[in-house]
Amino acid sequence: MYSEKVMDHFMNPRNQGEIPDADGVGEVGNPSCGDIMRIFIKVKDNIITDVKFQTFGCGAAIASSSMATELIKGKTLEEAWEMSNKAVVEALEGLPPVKVHCSVLAEDGIHQAINDYRIKQGLSPWEEKAGHAHGHDDESGE
Amino acid sequence: MASEKTVYMDHSATTATDPEVVQAMLPWYSQSYGNPSSIYRLAGISRVAIDEARAKVATAIGAKPDEIFFTSGGTESDNWALIGTAFSHKGKGNHIITTAIEHHAILHTCEYLKKQGFDITYLPVDEYGQVRMEDLKAAITDRTILVSVMFANNEIGTIEPVSEIGKLCREQGILFHTDAVQAIGNVPINVATMNIDLLSLSGHKFYGPKGTGALYIRKGIRIDSFLHGGAQEKRKRAGTENVPGIVGLGAAIEKAVRDQDLKTSRIRDLRNRLLERILTEIPNCRLNGHKTERLPGNINICFEFIEGESLLLLLDHAGIAASTGSACSSGSLEPSHVLMAIGVPIEIAHGSLRLTLGIENTEDDINYVSEEIKKAVEKLRSISPLYADYLKKRS
Ligand SMILES: Cc1ncc(COP(=O)(O)O)c(C=O)c1O
Ligand code: FES
């Protein structure tokens, strides 16, 4: 059902855990199935220097969190904000169509963490793009 | 690397066909392949084989051979029982009573019947998954034509008070159907003493072949034909008989019922030991279903703070086949309707695991599976935000 890449990230999740003194924290719930993802970021000079996640969800959700955190580590906040769930799906070599929404959760979690950071810095939060792909009719990436 | 070992604990999904059953089926493919409806000798022996299988199925449930009709499995038997009686009794009324925890073969058939103008009542169940007699009594009206309550539930293993329901329905002159797909070979069944009018069974759940089943229809019950065509199955279910499958079904049910006491006491014993180990060694988990009125091989347990599909993936990696009622693994993203009906909160239903043991499981399997579950649950909890919160709250 899942690609080897998904299984690899599921079996050996990267960046799992918590950053106690995080600069930004995002927590999102999956509207489809009720699962929860939490993203912690550490920011220095506009760069995400560290990122960790906690996920209560399916294999695809855990693998997506792992991959998404890998993709934004070392990136600028702008670059991390631009990372879409599609990029996560591609990096995972595809997700079954019913599981694309789990990768959307990772994108949303990162956006929340970045905005939490911005608010704590006294900056205004960034707006979600109109037409933000909420995944369901997206290609599966396969 | 994925494990070389395999431990199958999903016997409620299906079972391996018993090699003896396969042997019994083989001659009916290429050697004795005659169509039972033809008149030459090659056909005659197929007819005899079907009659013998029919007698075996009848004996297994305390019926008479002419009350057994072969079908393609549990789903067809359920569809036929409901649709066939609904339409043939609609002169009397249009009300059908079933339960909230039936298999989709019943529930989706009821949705279809609702579109055809029938009224359906879905009885609730108690926290253990049992129907309450007072709810059933209260639901019956003078338009009620059929009550359909499963013998044993496929997810939580709860056994329903079938005898009581049968007695009540007989007194009230209402037809009683039971989906006994999970019960055959696990629970003693007698359609006569239990006042059952219609009963569905399926071969692949008791080490018989897939795509085989039967519907018991008590003599004298009016029911519409289901498949229209030739004169097979007394014109009630047309189509050239699946002779090898029917022979296999007969061989499997004979063996399942003959060995039932021995087999179920051994499986129940293994199940109890596995359950005991899980409940004592893993914190924050709870058993779903009934403590005693339960299928011998069934465990259904919820582990807090984790999700079931990811648990199944880790177990699969260790070579263990099991199942879950989690929304994430359902395709529809809906949690199990059975766990919802017994009042399990959605987030806890997420962490449900069903293990269903069968004849080939061993003592070693119990040790291996309990260790692997423990490891998998720990691993997933270490990733879970809910578990992190729980630990913080505790400290
Ligand atoms: C309770 C119950 N009813 C009906 C069915 C359907 O049986 P079959 O797979 O033979 O169509 C099943 C099997 O999944 C079942 O567990
Ligand atoms: S988190 Fe529920 S389906 Fe992926």
- pLDDT for position B284: 97
Q: Which of A35, A54, A56 to mutate: most B Cβ within 10 Å?
A: A56
Region label for A113, one of left (φ > 0), alpha (ψ between -120 and 50) or beta (otherwise):
alpha
> Of A34, A36, A62, which is closest to B327 when you measure between CB atoms?
A34
ipTM higher than threshold 0.85: yes
Q: Which of A58, A66, A99 to mutate: most B Cβ within 10 Å?
A: A58
For domain A4-120, give the fold.
Answer: Sufe protein. Chain: A (3.90.1010)
Q: Nearest CA to B358 among B187, B186, B203, B212?
A: B186
**Which residue among A1, A11, A18, A33 is the active-site one?**
A33
Q: Which residues 6+ apart lie within 8 Å of B31 measured at CB?
A: none
**Which residue among A25, A88, A92, A102 is the active-site one?**
A102
On whether any CB of chain B is under 8 Å from the CB of A55, the answer is yes
- pLDDT for position A138: 35
Query: Looking at A87-96, A123-132, B143-152, which range is the least confident one?
Result: A123-132
Q: State which residue of chain A sits closest to B389, comparing Cα positions.
A: A54
Report the pLDDT averaged over residues A54-78: 97
Q: What domains are there in chain B, each with its CATH number?
A: 7-15+260-394 (3.90.1150.10), 19-258 (3.40.640.10)
Residue A136 has pLDDT above 80, yes or no: no
- pLDDT for position A129: 75
Q: Considering only CA atoms, which residue is closest to atom 3 of ligand 2?
A: B328
Q: State which residue of chain B sits closest to A65, comparing Cα positions.
A: B383
Q: Do the strands B119-123 and B95-99 form a parallel or antiparallel pair, or are they unpaired?
A: parallel
Say how far residue B376 (Cα) sits from the centre of its chain: 28
Test A16 with B383 for CB contact under 8 angstroms. Answer: yes
Helix axes B363-383, B308-317, angle to 10 degrees: 130
On whether any CB of chain B is under 8 Å from the CB of A3, the answer is no
Q: Which residues of chain B have pLDDT under 50?
A: none
- Name the average pLDDT for chain B: 97
State the Cα–Cα distance between residues B361 and B6, nearest whole angstrom.
11
Domain extent listing, chain A: 4-120
Which residues of chain A from 108 to 137 reach within 8 Å of chain B, CB to CB?
none
Residue A137 binned pLDDT confidence (cut-offs 50, 70, 90): very low
A58 catalytic per annotation: no
- pLDDT for position B332: 84
pTM: 0.94
Residues of chain A with C-beta less than 8 angstroms from the C-beta of B310: 10, 57-59, 61-62
Three-state SS for chain B is CCCCCCEECECCCCCCCCHHHHHHHCHHHHCCCCCCCCCCHHHHHHHHHHHHHHHHHHHHHCCCHHHEEEECCHHHHHHHHHHHHHHHCCCCCCEEEEECCCCHHHHHHHHHHHHCCCEEEEECCCCCCCCCHHHHHHHCCCCEEEEECCCECCCCCEECCHHHHHHHHHHHCCEEEEECCCCCCCCCCCCCCCCCCEEEEEHHHHCCCCCCEEEEECCCCCCCCCECCCCCHHHCECCCCCHHHHHHHHHHHHHHHHCHHHHHHHHHHHHHHHHHHHHHHCCCEEECCCCCCECCCEEEEEECCCCHHHHHHHHHHCCEECECCCHHHCCCCCCCHHHHHCCCCHHHHCCEEEEECCCCCCHHHHHHHHHHHHHHHHHHHHHCHHHHHHHHHHC
Tokens 């799906």 identify what position?
A89
Residue A134 has pLDDT above 80, yes or no: no
Residue A55 has pLDDT above 80, yes or no: yes
Test B307 with A56 for CB contact under 8 angstroms. Answer: yes
Kindly give the number of the ligand 2 atom that is closest to the alpha carbon of B329.
Answer: 3
Test A56 with B326 for CB contact under 8 angstroms. Answer: no
Residue A130 binned pLDDT confidence (cut-offs 50, 70, 90): low
Q: Nearest CA to A36 among A91, A108, A84?
A: A108
- pLDDT for position B203: 98
